[in-house]
Structure 1
């Protein structure tokens, strides 16, 4: 589990021809959790942009475990792990109300200097300087 999660209810228009959630929607659920998790941790999106910095998604891997159907109630987690390089991991679990993991979403993210079009060398420090509290989205293993 992680230090942050957000509830989501599956909407009928997210279904595909097979009657379950379209694969692309899983990415959207993870994006909602990422944005909400960063905000809950104090990320000042406007401040980042004013400083000419923005997060960029570099890679996403989704492992689909169970199908989702209309009106399923979910918790989508957001867990951020920083290392020492230019990128960091933002992972989400999409969990059904009964505790079943429906999908695992693993992302690699960086912070880009929008003028230079290059990744910042220390994204954690840049986020923390802007008020981000990594403990609010840290793994709770």
Structure 2
């Protein structure tokens, strides 16, 4: 029997810029949300998840950050992103921000949905919508 290994989630590398710092000299709290957004959009693009959805787009419904370690100018971080689908109209795209030495700097949890842009309502079965659009489901989610 072969060895089963856990797949790593998608990662995006980002460098902390001086203009992103607060008065204490570390990354401003709002920028952590931006880093999560960068990783979410990179993953959706790389997985081909937004092509073929027609008049439907992802919409962020809730986001929460837990700060673990400070980030300073010049730090390079890896921001992971992993999708988890449930049975309803929403799904999660959670991210961790890691310093170059592997230290966990922040955890970001997000709830999203897919919105029909004409009627401005969430559509049912986002997983099915992504799959039908030809998205790489294994890249989107380590649970696939």
Asked if TM exceeds 0.5, the reply is yes
Q: Identify the residue that residue 87 of structure 1 maps to in structure 2.
A: 90
The answer (yes or no) to whether the contact 1:42–1:133 under 8 Å persists in 2 is yes
Map 1:1-16 onto structure 2 (within 5 A).
Answer: 2-16=8-22
RMSD in angstroms over aligned alpha carbons?
1.4
Kindly tell me: are residues 5 and 136 of structure 1, through their superposed partners in 2, closer, same or farther at Cα, counting changes over 3 Å? same
- The structure whose RCO (Cα within 8 Å, separation 6+) is larger is 1
The answer (yes or no) to whether the contact 1:2–1:137 under 8 Å persists in 2 is no
3-state SS of the aligned residue for 1:37?
A: helix
Residues in 2 aligned to 1:127 and 1:118: alpha-carbon distance in whole angstroms: 17
Structure 1, unpaired ranges of 5+: none
Structure 1 segments, 4+ long, off by >2 Å, are: none
TM-score (norm 1): 0.92
Residues in 2 aligned to 1:44 and 1:34: alpha-carbon distance in whole angstroms: 12
Residues in 1 aligned to 2:135 and 2:76: alpha-carbon distance in whole angstroms: 29
Matched, 1:59 2:62: yes
